[in-house]
Amino acid sequence: MVLNVRAVFPGLLFAAMVAMAAQFLSEHYGAPVMLMAILLGIPFQFLSTEERTSVGIAFASRRVLRIGVALLGVRVSVDMVAEIGFANVALVASGVALTILLGLVLAPLFGRSRSFGFLVGGSVAICGASAAMAIASLLPKGENTERDVTFTVVSVTLASTVAMIAYPILISAMGMDSQSAGVFLGGTIHDVAQVVGAGYSVSEETGDISTLVKLFRVGMLAPVVFIGALFLRQSGQGAEGVPLVPGFVIGFLVLAGMNSFGWLPDLAIQTADSVSRACLVTAVAAVGMKTSFEDLRTVGRSAPLMILILTIALAGYVLIGQHILL
């Protein structure tokens, strides 16, 4: 498919401008960048229906997103498993799997689709807004898809921010050591930025461990997306638009493999990481620009309750698992 630059450029430029504004607010006022991107994008919803900008906004919300997710692979390496320890790896990996399964189980009970359960379960289990966006790119498109994605990004970012503040207090009250605290924070908080904030607010050692554990969870995005695509094809839900192994997953795995073998220089890793972040924030801004506040009002109370339950369940599972391991 040939990219029509003239058609894409205006909408993509607007999405990038919103992303830059969100980044400015994040750097100067400490606001969560993904939350700012989607909230700043919503007032510009009219641009997603404007002929001159709609193509570029759609491009940003899907193609730019996939580039950003693929580039996340530079953060991941096989060495992480050895550094974290196999027992903690098993605990974190099983926490991810069980959280997604719980999302799938809860969805029908709350009157939601399995697709929505996969979306919120994956976002809580893996890496917040980034996971929500990646999973959403697989799901069959419906009239409420963009609304559900926007709501999930907003809710999971808010939950992650609350966890960043509350979990260090919980750690202190429980008297956890740096190793246990790092595994708990990295294994339960949704977004990478909030994990970093919470971990280093406890201690430098806790921050290092929590960041490492979190990046391992980010690495689980690839197999989760692959399995999700496989089930969608078998169930016939949007199968014609879902390749068995999405291209961005292949890119993620290739970069993770190159990083594992030490084939990527530090400059390349830092550059790819920065580009990935810019792409993801731009994509989130574009999704915000495709959603209206009126749409969000129709989500209902069941959706935020699901995210709350999943967040508490994941935290409880990791705490109990650590107690058993100790």
Q: How many CA atoms lie within 13 A of 131 on its CB side?
A: 32
Which pLDDT score is estimated for 125? 95
Which pLDDT score is estimated for 119? 93
Task: Tell me which amino acid residue 24 is.
Answer: F
CA 289 to chain centre: 18
**In this predicted model, what pLDDT tens digit does every residue of 76-125 receive, in sequence order?**
888 888 888 889 999 999 999 999 999 999 999 998 888 899 999 999 99
DSSP letter string over 37-82? HHHHHGGGGGGGSSHHHHHHHHHIIIIIHHHHHHHGGGG--THHHH
Return d(Cα 185, Cα 206) in angstroms, integer. Answer: 9
Tokens describing residue 32: 């969560």
Which pLDDT score is estimated for 115? 87
Maximal CA-CA distance, the chain: 60
The segments of the chain whose pLDDT lies below 50 read 1, 239
This prediction has a pTM of 0.86
What secondary structure letter does DSSP report for 125? I
**In this predicted model, what pLDDT tens digit does every residue of 187-210 receive, in sequence order?**
999 988 889 889 999 998 999 899
- Nearest residue to 293 (alpha-carbon basis) of 8, 44, 88, 18: 44
